[in-house]
């Protein structure tokens, strides 16, 4: 199969797998509260890092790294981020949070959320099936970029429709709920 065909398969599969997924919801939430550029790059690079690991390590990853502790860590990070958002008393008049912090938080949350996720498993499967890591990686990252971009644009529109306090409350609830879902998944 040609590289272009493998890239196309990876692009479509990953974009469909991520559409409406917890990471896209997280991206929408982050982009509704923070500047879209650091959110976009943080989430995309975090998801891409996990994709590179999936391509590079393939199925060996699951032989040596237990997934359950990683899922528990992801759950804890989401719950903590949600609680922080809920309990922080930032004044709207204060200087906005630095882009570097938004980038860092977006990167860490998306990396942890995607580790062992269905898209990483799909990348591992595609790499093994087609023995074409580069086109799988390129197609997957382009698919992720599309979904992250859609999430960021949706988040930006939400920020225009609702006042900041309601967005923060919704984001906090969403992060805590996703953390609980991660925890249940990890423990079952």
- Report the candidate in 105, 96, 85 with the shortest Cα–Cα distance to residue 42: 105
C-alpha separations of 101 from 18, 36, 68 in Å: 24, 13, 28
Report how far residue 104's alpha carbon sits from residue 185's, in angstroms, rounded to the nearest whole number. 25
Domain ranges for the chain = 3-187
Which pTM does this prediction carry? 0.73
**Confidence label for 90 from pLDDT (cuts 50, 70 and 90):** low
Tell me the pLDDT tens digit for each residue of 100-133: 888 998 998 888 888 777 788 788 778 877 778 8
């Amino acid at each position: 199969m040609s590289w272009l065909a493998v890239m196309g398969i990876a692009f479509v599969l990953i974009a469909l797998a991520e559409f409406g997924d917890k990471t896209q919801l997280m991206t929408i939430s982050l982009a509704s509260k923070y500047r879209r550029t650091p959110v976009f790059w943080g989430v995309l690079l975090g998801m891409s890092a996990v994709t590179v690991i999936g391509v590079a390590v393939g199925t060996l990853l699951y032989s040596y790294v237990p997934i359950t502790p990683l899922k528990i860590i992801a759950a804890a990070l989401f719950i903590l981020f949600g609680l922080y958002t809920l309990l922080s008393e930032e004044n709207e008049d204060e200087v906005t949070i630095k882009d570097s912090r938004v980038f860092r938080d977006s990167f860490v949350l998306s990396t942890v959320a995607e580790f062992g996720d269905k898209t990483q498993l799909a990348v591992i499967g595609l790499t093994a099936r087609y023995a074409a890591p580069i086109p799988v990686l390129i197609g997957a990252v382009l698919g992720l970029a599309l979904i992250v971009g859609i999430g960021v644009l949706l988040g930006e529109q939400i920020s225009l429709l609702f006042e900041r306090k309601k967005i923060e409350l919704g984001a906090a609830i969403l992060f805590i709920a996703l953390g609980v879902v991660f925890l249940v998944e990890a423990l079952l």
